[in-house]
Amino acid sequence: MSGIRLLLQSATCYFSSVPNVRCSCGKEMSYAGTWPKKNMNAAGDGVFVRGGIKFIVSDELHITLASTAVILSLFSKKGIKDGSMLEERIMDIGHDEILKLLERSLISSTPLTDLCFDNSMPSNGKVPNRDGIFQLVPKCEEDGNSDGEQLKAKLLLTKTNRKIVYMECDEEVLDFLFSFLTFPLGAVIKLLNKSSSMGCADNLYGSAEVLSSQENLCIKSEECKTMLLGPKLAPFCGVKTQLLKIGELVSRVDSTSARCFTCYRNGFSCGHRLYIATLKELNPKFPNKMTEPGGGYAKGQCKFMVTDDLDVALVSPFSTVRIINEFGVSISNLVEEEVGIGETQALNLLKAALCSETALTKVFSSNKRKACSLD
């Protein structure tokens, strides 16, 4: 882990992985330091998998141990009847190819074909609409509990077809939505029970599950297995009201030996009579730079508008008029409804954000709620 650290003549020093953060003393963190690297690999091992093992990766990113039986089964599924239908290619895979494979694995059902034959995204750069593959997540048991935590918001939608124009919410709801951007990919797929609708990412996750089983033992360690199948949020990425079952890593604490970190950095003998200086990570979401977890991304005491495709703006008369005009609907056809966001709605919002351009309508328009006419 790399970090931007401020080195103080004190028994407690602070660091952050966020650039341009100011320490609680008011000084900007200016020294870029690195954590010592730990060599956890046995000779020949990869990052996550054991060495000396051959794998087969299908076009849909199903990964299996290499064997004749697997190869013949794959040929059968692809309708390959003889060797004349096959061609072998050797590809050099570098930075650009890895980025393209990542992109295609999230939106395509044939990412390897896309990589091999240079099938790219549309010229306008937009991801193809995948609304048709969206399915609601089943109701969670916790949502039936009146004690379950829920966030509150208001919806502005049409009376005729119940399409949502925008959602009005406070900073707590917005913090929750923004927190989606901090979720590790493996955590998203786990939360959505391998039904994320993200290209072949679910297949990749399922393959990691199989390869880490007792029968295969291809994954190097339980730590590697957890990193792939149950990753946690980075330190301080959690929010006050986290409706989804996702953990957060504990912030790192380390220490220097024999001197304070200012002297340690410059190679001097310590003149401050410190023998050990503790390094603590700051939470960049708190104005006073606390080291406790929590905090939010949006400023408090504000109201926000979230459109159906998850664009965010501050509530204002001008923004409201602009969005209604863009929607092309008369004011007499609008109604306001209150909505609660529990775990089920949170999971559906996460899923809809990944594959739909009408995320709010997908999640909230099916059931009628307490309404207030705008006539």
Is 256 part of any domain?
yes
Q: Are 104 and 27 within one domain?
A: no
Is 137 part of any domain?
no
Residue 345 has pLDDT above 90, yes or no: yes
Instruction: Kindly list the distances between the CA atom of residue 156 and the CA atoms of 116, 163, 319, 356, in Å, as whole numbers in the listed order.
Output: 46, 9, 13, 19
Decide which of 341 and 42 is more confident: 341
Confidence of residue 64 (pLDDT cuts 50, 70, 90): very high
Residues in the chain: 375
Decide which of 219 and 254 is more confident: 219
Domain of 171, in residue numbers: 151-181+298-373
User: CA torsion 320→326→331→333, rounded to 10°?
Assistant: -130
Decide which of 350 and 30 is more confident: 350
Is 236 part of any domain?
no
Q: How many domains does the chain have?
A: 3
CA distance 118 to 120: 6
Q: Are 201 and 275 within one domain?
A: no
The set of residues, in sequence order, having a beta carbon less than 8 Å from that of 325 and lying 6+ positions away, is none
180, burial (CB in 10 Å: exposed 0-12, middle 13-18, buried 19+): middle
Confidence of residue 250 (pLDDT cuts 50, 70, 90): confident
pLDDT on residue 135: 73
The share of the chain scoring above pLDDT 70, in percent, equals 76
HSE (side-chain half, CA atoms, 13 Å) at 331: 5
| Amino acid making up residue 294 | G
- Which residue is associated with the tokens 């949170």? 346
The SS3 call for residue 233 is strand
Decide which of 6 and 222 is more confident: 222
Mean pLDDT computed over every residue of the chain: 82
Q: Are 199 and 339 within one domain?
A: no
Backbone angles phi, psi at 155, to 5 degrees: -110, 140
The set of residues, in sequence order, having a beta carbon less than 8 Å from that of 118 and lying 6+ positions away, is none
Query: How confident is the model over 253-283, as pLDDT tens digits?
Result: 766 554 455 555 554 455 555 555 677 788 8
Query: How confident is the model over 126-163, as pLDDT tens digits?
Result: 555 555 556 777 776 555 444 467 999 999 999 999 99
Confidence of residue 36 (pLDDT cuts 50, 70, 90): low
User: What is the dihedral sign for C-alpha 280, 281, 283, 286?
Assistant: positive
The SS3 call for residue 90 is coil
Q: Are 31 and 109 within one domain?
A: no
pLDDT on residue 191: 95
pLDDT on residue 97: 94
Q: Are 70 and 201 within one domain?
A: yes
pLDDT on residue 309: 95
Is 67 part of any domain?
yes
6 beta partners: 14
Is 138 part of any domain?
no
DSSP letter at 228 equals H
Which of 332, 326, 339 has the alpha carbon at shortest distance from 365?
A: 339
Residue 5 has pLDDT above 70, yes or no: no
Q: Are 213 and 320 within one domain?
A: no
Is 350 part of any domain?
yes
What would the mean pLDDT of 360-372 be, rounded to a whole number? Answer: 73
Backbone angles phi, psi at 172, to 5 degrees: -65, -45
Q: Are 28 and 122 within one domain?
A: no
Is 201 part of any domain?
yes
Residue 12 has pLDDT above 70, yes or no: no
How large is the greatest C-alpha to C-alpha distance in the chain, in angstroms?
Answer: 78
The share of the chain scoring above pLDDT 90, in percent, equals 51
Q: Are 189 and 104 within one domain?
A: yes
Confidence of residue 330 (pLDDT cuts 50, 70, 90): very high
Domain boundary (194, 229, 264) is at 229
Residue 167 has pLDDT above 90, yes or no: yes
Confidence of residue 125 (pLDDT cuts 50, 70, 90): low
Domain boundary (198, 214, 229) is at 229
Q: Are 96 and 208 within one domain?
A: yes
Confidence of residue 183 (pLDDT cuts 50, 70, 90): very high
Q: Are 119 and 66 within one domain?
A: yes
Q: Are 159 and 273 within one domain?
A: no
Rg of the chain in Å (alpha carbons): 25
pLDDT on residue 2: 43
pLDDT on residue 240: 85
CA distance 154 to 336: 7
Predicted TM-score (pTM) of this structure: 0.82
Q: Are the beta carbons of 57 and 105 closer than 8 angstroms?
A: no
pLDDT on residue 333: 94
CA distance 184 to 199: 16
DSSP assignment of 65-87, as one string?
A: E--HHHHHHHHHHTT--SGGG--
DSSP letter at 267 equals T
pLDDT on residue 20: 75
Q: Are the beta carbons of 238 and 179 closer than 8 angstroms?
A: yes
Q: Are 123 and 204 within one domain?
A: yes
Query: How confident is the model over 286-315, as pLDDT tens digits?
Result: 766 677 777 888 887 889 999 999 999 999
253 beta partners: 280
Instruction: Kindly list the distances between the CA atom of residue 172 and the CA atoms of 152, 241, 263, 356, 363, in Å, as whole numbers in the listed order.
Output: 9, 7, 43, 23, 19
User: CA torsion 327→333→339→345, rounded to 10°?
Assistant: -50
Is 141 part of any domain?
no
Which of 328, 237, 315 has the alpha carbon at shortest distance from 283?
A: 237
